[in-house]
Amino acid sequence: MNLKYFLRNYPTTFLGAVIVLVFLVTALGAEHLAPYDPNWVTPRHSVRPPDSEYIFGADHNGRDILSRVIYGARISLLISMTSVTVGLIVGVSLGALAGWNSKYELVIMRLVDMMLSFPGLITALAIVAILGSGIENVIAANMAYQIPMFARLTHGLVLSTRPNTYVMAARSVGLSDFYILLRHIMPNILGPIVVQGSLLIPDAIMTTSALSFLGLGVSPPTAEWGGMLQDGIKWFRLAPHVMLFPGGCLMLTVLGFNLLGDGLRQWLDPQLRIN
C-alpha cells in the first residue's frame, strides 16, 4: 500500500496518524522542545499574552504555557499508555479465561457487568476519592473501566472463535488450553482488541484531564492539561490564552487518536474495507 493510495482512501486516518505522531514526538522530546522549565515562576510575566518570547503566553504565575503544554503531553502519554497497556493485559486475560472455561465465566462476567453498569468517569471519581490524587491513582482509576471493557470484548471474541474447525482440531490432538488460546485463538482476535485499545487512549486522556480539572487528578505543580484548564478559569476573560492553548491541544490529541482508531477499525474489518 503506497502513500498515494493511503491518502486517497484513508485521508482522515492519515490526519489522525500525523496528529498522534506529533503528540508522541512532543511527549518523548519534552526536555529538548520546551523553551523553559514548566514550573519556573516569574511573577512579572503574569498572564503575559503570546509574543515572540512566550509563544503561548504565560499563566497567572508567569509560567511559560508552551513549556507546560509540552510537558503536559508527556503526563497524558504516560497515564494513558500505562493504563491501556495494563488494562489490555489484565482484561484480555480475564476475558479469554471466561470465554474458554465456563467454570469461571459466570463469576468474571458478572463482575464485568457490575463494573460496566457505572459510567467510566463516575468509577474513576470514586476511586480517586478513596485513594487520593496522584499519577498512580489516576492510572488505577482509568484501568478500573478499561479492564472490564477489554474483558467483555475478548469474552465475546473467544466464544465466537471457539467452535471453529482449527480450534476443534487442536483440541482433538491433545494440545493444552493455554497453547490453543495463545497460538490459535489470540492471533485471530487481535485486530478488534488493538482497535479497542486505540480508542480507549483518548478516553484515558479525557478522564485524566477531567479528574485534574476537578482537583482530583495529577497533583500541582505538575503540568497537566486538565489542571491548566482549571487554573485558567478565573483568568479566562482577562487572558483567554491561558485556557485556549491547553484546551486546543487536548481537543486535537483526542481527535487524532479517534481518527486513527476509526481508521484502524475500518482497515482491519474486511467488510468495512470492501464497502
Q: What share of the chain is helix, strand, coil (3-state, %, to 5)?
A: 75, 0, 25
Alpha-carbon distance of 59 to 49, in angstroms, equals: 9
Q: Over range 117-143, report the average pLDDT.
A: 93
Region label for 139, one of left (φ > 0), alpha (ψ between -120 and 50) or beta (otherwise) = alpha
Alpha-carbon distance of 259 to 202, in angstroms, equals: 10
Determine the pLDDT at residue 157: 94
List the one residue out of 255, 252, 221 whose CA is nearest residue 67.
Answer: 221
- Give residue-wise pLDDT tens across range 237-269: 999 999 999 999 999 999 999 999 888 887 776
- Give residue-wise pLDDT tens across range 81-95: 999 999 999 999 999
Residue 213 has pLDDT above 90, yes or no: yes
Kindly state the cell numbers that stand for 269: 474489518
Domains and CATH numbers, the chain: 58-274 (1.10.3720.10)
Is 58 strand, coil or helix?
Answer: strand
pTM over 0.85: yes
- Give residue-wise pLDDT tens across range 171-187: 888 888 888 888 889 98
- Give residue-wise pLDDT tens across range 25-63: 999 999 999 999 999 999 999 999 999 999 999 999 999
